[in-house]
Chain A
Amino acid sequence: MADDAPVEDAQITFNVKAANDKKHVLTLPAATTVADLKTKLSSSEYADIPPERQRLIYSGRVLKDHDTLASTKIKDGHTVHLVKGAASNARQNPAATGSSTGGSTPAAAQVPTNIAAGTGNNPLAGLTGARYAGFHGLPGMDTFGPDGGMGGTDPNQLLQMMEDPNFLQQMNEAMDNPAVIEMMQNSPMVRNNPMVAEMLRNPELRRAMFNPEMMRMQLQMQRAMNQNGGGGSFPMPGATNTTPQNSTGAQDQSSNAASLYENQLRQLNEMGFYEFERNVTALRRSGGNVQAAIEFLLGGGS
């Protein structure tokens, strides 16, 4: 490590953090160039990555080989990130035209079974083929029922459906299709609830809402509700209906809230709600229902 002969120059002790969570502590003179540093890091003692594949990032900048530690302003105790880059720049993706990407349905164009392509192109047609003969439970749009809900379907069946990548793809496409969104917005459930309508109008939220993970959660929850006769308690992750539950006290104990709503909290986090306290409050109010919690959070509740 500090194998350097005594140099006149000031020494800097800093960390290099590699992608695999390995942390190397180096002490080098300030005049060391980034190229030297890379050579040093390439040894098996450190990162064991050839210098030309190393990318060093410090303070939001990619360090260039001719920079020195002094010119990059690395100080004692600071951390440089080491990333393993591609072998060379030869492997490149076809350049995009870079014109307007618009943001409407960029992905749909690449997908052959686009619902918007017309009625002759039934998106679920593929599912009736022999390949999917076993999956009788796969839904048509009628699964969603006249009220836009998923009322009449067996939750188990739906859960199973959620595991099917093909279905997920259909789902994503459907969510990219303005017609589907419009249909949902016109369903009475949504029409009478401006909050939900607003959520549907926001593409990001919409995606989050129809994220398969999320839907799976909701289904599980629905099921749990039914088992408990509509009570507000949500089982701990992994709890079965034979697990003894302390459903009365659980919701009041904030210490339990974190673990009780672990999954929901993670979902909220993933959707960009980072305030732990508020998330917990919202989840507690909604009895663990993520969607209701989002409504609460967006509604500016505190």
Chain B
Amino acid sequence: MGAKVPRNFRLLEELEKGEKGLGAEACSYGLDNGDDLLMSDWNGTILGPPHSVHENRIYSVKIHCGPNYPDLPPEISFTSKVNLPCVDQRNGKVDPTKVPCLAQWKRDFTMETILIELRRYMALPQHKKLPQPPEGSTY
């Protein structure tokens, strides 16, 4: 599938896509600190999927892209409190083994892939009715 895109080019591509809002509507992401030359720390938001307890909520996540991204998936942790089986309730960290796109990470996946996947995870029938902590609370 073509040449391997190096980490920084990939992240720049994703940055542009995020800033210009070219991606999916329900998710947004961008650099935590615009001066970060290594582009390691990102913020993301997930708009709660409709027809679930998450509707109208906005969840913030932190994304850390290590030096081996995109060969390895980034680390994700929720800043907003959320009750999901894949989220460690003590610190908001997402357990990569419980989210299919992280467990079976592919180089072509992007941060957007993950955010969309997490949003879909929230909307699953077995998750969409889980009682949630008050909106706005954080880890």
Known: A61-B30, A100-B89, A205-B100. A274 touches B81 (CB 8 A): no
Interface of A is mostly: loop
Bound state CA distance, A17 and B101, in angstroms?
27
**How many A-B contacts if CB must be within 8 Å?**
130
Known: A57-B45, A89-B135. A96 touches B83 (CB 8 A): yes
Are B136 and A89 in contact, with the CB atoms below 8 A? yes
Interface of B is mostly: loop
Contacts of B132 in A (CB 8 A): 93, 95-96
- Determine whether B78 belongs to the interface, using a CB cutoff of 8 Å to chain A: no
Contacts of B19 in A (CB 8 A): 58-59, 75, 78-79
Are A93 and B131 in contact, with the CB atoms below 8 A? yes
Chain A positions near chain B (C-beta within 8 angstroms):
15, 17, 19, 21, 55, 57-62, 73, 75, 77-81, 83-86, 89, 92-96, 98-103, 106-107, 110, 172, 176, 204-205, 207, 270-272, 274-275, 277, 298
Contacts of B134 in A (CB 8 A): 89, 92-93, 95
Are B117 and A272 in contact, with the CB atoms below 8 A? yes
Bound state CA distance, A164 and B1, in angstroms?
43
Contacts of A95 in B (CB 8 A): 131-134
Bound state CA distance, A110 and B103, in angstroms?
28
B14 to chain A, nearest CB (A): 11
Contact of B20 among A77, A103, A271 (CB under 8 A): A77
Contact of A19 among B25, B58, B60, B109 (CB under 8 A): B25
Are A298 and B104 in contact, with the CB atoms below 8 A? yes
Contact of B30 among A21, A60, A106 (CB under 8 A): A60
Are B104 and A60 in contact, with the CB atoms below 8 A? no
